[in-house]
Amino acid sequence: MVDNILKHFKDIVGSERATTDDAILLTYARDQQWPFVPPRKPDYIVRPTTTTEVQQVIRIANRHKIPVVPYAQGVNVRGLCIAEQGGIILDMRDMNQILEVNEDMMTAVIEPGVRTVDLAVACREKGLRPAIAGCPGVASAGANYMLRGLYHHMWKDGIEHVLGMEIVLPNGNLLHTGSWGFPNTLGPYCRYGIGPDMTGLFQNQPGTMGVFTKLATKLYPKHDIADWVVAGYDDISDLVKVIKELGKKDIGASCMGMHWLGYAMLFAGNIKDVFEFKDTMGEYVLWAVLEAETEEDIIAEEEKCEKIVRASNYVAGGEIFPIPEDIDNEFTYPRIVSQWFRLGNYYAVPFFAPIDMTKTYYEATMKLWLKHNLDPDLCGWFIAPMDYLHHGQAVYFEVETFYDSSDDEERENLKRFTDDFNKKMMEIGMFSWFRPNPGNMGLTLPGLGNYANLWKQIKDDIDPNDIMNPGKVFVI
């Protein structure tokens, strides 16, 4: 049967684009998250180039109940493209066309394999920019928007960038969401169609509801004049107060608060030893990003920002820190993340949470960190508001570290910390909202009651054979 199915796939995508070759399967078996998501070899790699091919592959998978794992660029750092139950990796890196950049509507239509960096370059030529997550430039822009990412250098954009999607459903049928679904219209010019928000139904899920083959995204004006304000704090409450104040007054394009380690890592490309930064600017650092059309506007924005910063108990040697010139690209274009791996493998657990509870989360985190014999100097964390803080309180809260994943003891300590941390965060009212990370879905779902029941019913209706990335949300 295996050979027969491979033959079908080869007939659909071409013999070079479907394989069961062990050497190739192995390259998809594990990712950087392997200590937490055990490696598992898929059974097939299929690399479609058109929507029709995706539909045909999905129909065969559905008929034979073979799991399908959509794969855009595979850099999600959460083990989300590991075929936990075997099956097909649907590698869409060659579906990489930017189908339209519409200056008038400020929208783009892209395929799933389009990298963030390529979209940014195509938009820049037209004086626009896409939403740029703090992820590597190779990450798929579409997969990031579908999952709703973290855009911490531009909180004013919010986290919702999708206007509509073309989706291959698990039965192989095609769905267009929002205004794209209407006949005889301009296409994806509006997020909402009639009735419920169909686009949202397919978002923030790791390939568990279908495969998007085209995605329409919002674009934003690109300002060439930008500046940053950085200040250090010894008390998290002071830092939080300033972030809230800036948000409420609409000052800046973005701002985030972080442990000094995170700030130092941003500069690690330039300096030899990140630990040189320790004690130079307080334990916690505020980073505010300002943008404007003119020099006068940026100066006015800086003055407003610094006034708020100076009114709080900032430290940092009595000065507001200037930002070195060469950090500009860090937040203007997709990030160069190689320096993040200087101290070892990158580990992070993310949540969305109310900003007012930052101190509670941090103190609980630190307690567990020490309990599991982890180095306190390497317990990084940051908070980044998801949007301006006018409505609600939501910030992204991430605990992060850099570690030697070949060291058995260090790895085991971190795994034990993660288990404890996930439980503790849920105990104090923080759910794994950012992405359905495999490790904590099993903990999250039982607490969700009818919310989870309805979600599961919808999933069962859309994917009755549970072929779409099984085990990633509704864990067995």
Reduced to 3 states (helix: H, G, I; strand: E, B; else coil), residue 128 is: strand
Measured distance between the N- and C-terminal CA atoms of the chain, rounded to whole angstroms = 26
What residues pair up with 402 in beta bridges, in sequence order? 346
Rounded least distance, CB 139 to ligand FAD, Å: 4
Residue 251 contacts residue 291 (beta carbons within 8 Å)? no
170 near ligand FAD, rule: CB under 6 A: no
Reduced to 3 states (helix: H, G, I; strand: E, B; else coil), residue 302 is: helix
Judged by CB under 6 A, the stretch of 14-22, 205-213, 285-293, 437-445 that binds ligand FAD is 205-213
180 near ligand FAD, rule: CB under 6 A: no
Report the amino acid identity of residue 59.
R
Given 48, 67, 136, 439, the residue binding ligand FAD (CB under 6 A): 136
Q: Select 149 or 181, whichever has its Cβ closest to ligand FAD.
A: 149
Torsion from C-alpha of 365, 367, 372, 376, nearest 10 degrees: 80
CB atoms within 10 A of CB 181: 18
Per-residue contact string for residues 344-383; x = within reach of ligand FAD by CB under 6 A? --x-------------------------------------
Residue 409 contacts residue 443 (beta carbons within 8 Å)? no
Q: Kindly tell me the sign of the dihedral angle through the C-alpha atoms of 40, 42, 45, 48.
A: negative
242 near ligand FAD, rule: CB under 6 A: no
Judged by CB under 6 A, the stretch of 131-139, 219-227, 260-268, 449-457 that binds ligand FAD is 131-139
Residue 246 contacts residue 288 (beta carbons within 8 Å)? yes
263 near ligand FAD, rule: CB under 6 A: no
φ/ψ bin of 304: left (φ > 0), alpha (ψ from -120 to 50), beta (otherwise) = alpha
Rounded least distance, CB 79 to ligand FAD, Å: 9
Residue 33 contacts residue 77 (beta carbons within 8 Å)? yes
Reduced to 3 states (helix: H, G, I; strand: E, B; else coil), residue 97 is: coil
Size of the site for ligand FAD (CB under 6 A): 32
282 near ligand FAD, rule: CB under 6 A: no
133 near ligand FAD, rule: CB under 6 A: yes
206 near ligand FAD, rule: CB under 6 A: yes
Please give the helix or strand (H or E) that residue 101 lies within, else none: strand 98-102
Q: For residue 336, how many C-alpha atoms fall within 13 Å in the half-sphere facing its CB?
A: 12
CB atoms within 10 A of CB 283: 16
Judged by CB under 6 A, the stretch of 141-149, 253-261, 365-373, 400-408 that binds ligand FAD is 141-149
290 near ligand FAD, rule: CB under 6 A: no
432 near ligand FAD, rule: CB under 6 A: no
Please give the helix or strand (H or E) that residue 331 lies within, else none: helix 328-332
Q: Select 170 or 282, whichever has its Cβ closest to ligand FAD.
A: 170
> What is the C-alpha to C-alpha distance for residues 133 and 148, in angstroms, rounded to an integer?
9
Q: Select 148 or 302, whichever has its Cβ closest to ligand FAD.
A: 148
Judged by CB under 6 A, the stretch of 39-47, 135-143, 192-200, 375-383 that binds ligand FAD is 135-143
Which residue has its beta carbon closest to ligand FAD? 149
150 near ligand FAD, rule: CB under 6 A: yes
CA-nearest of 166, 184, 187 to 175 is: 166
- By the 10 Å C-beta count (0-12 exposed, 13-18 middle, 19+ buried), 348 is classed as middle
Given 87, 207, 282, 439, the residue binding ligand FAD (CB under 6 A): 207
Judged by CB under 6 A, the stretch of 137-145, 173-181, 227-235, 402-410 that binds ligand FAD is 137-145
Q: Select 212 or 260, whichever has its Cβ closest to ligand FAD.
A: 212
Site for ligand FAD in 68-97 (CB under 6 A): 69-77, 80-81, 92
Residue 231 contacts residue 286 (beta carbons within 8 Å)? yes
Q: Select 133 or 198, whichever has its Cβ closest to ligand FAD.
A: 133
Given 48, 67, 134, 470, the residue binding ligand FAD (CB under 6 A): 134
Per-residue contact string for residues 304-343; x = within reach of ligand FAD by CB under 6 A? ---------------------------------x--x---
120 near ligand FAD, rule: CB under 6 A: no
112 near ligand FAD, rule: CB under 6 A: yes
Q: What is the largest CA-CA distance in the chain?
A: 72
Instruction: List helix spans (H) across 132-268.
Output: 141-147, 198-201, 236-248, 260-266
Which residues sit at the interface with ligand FAD, rule CB under 6 A?
Answer: 69-77, 80-81, 92, 112, 133-136, 139-140, 143-144, 147, 149-150, 206-207, 211-212, 337, 340, 346, 469
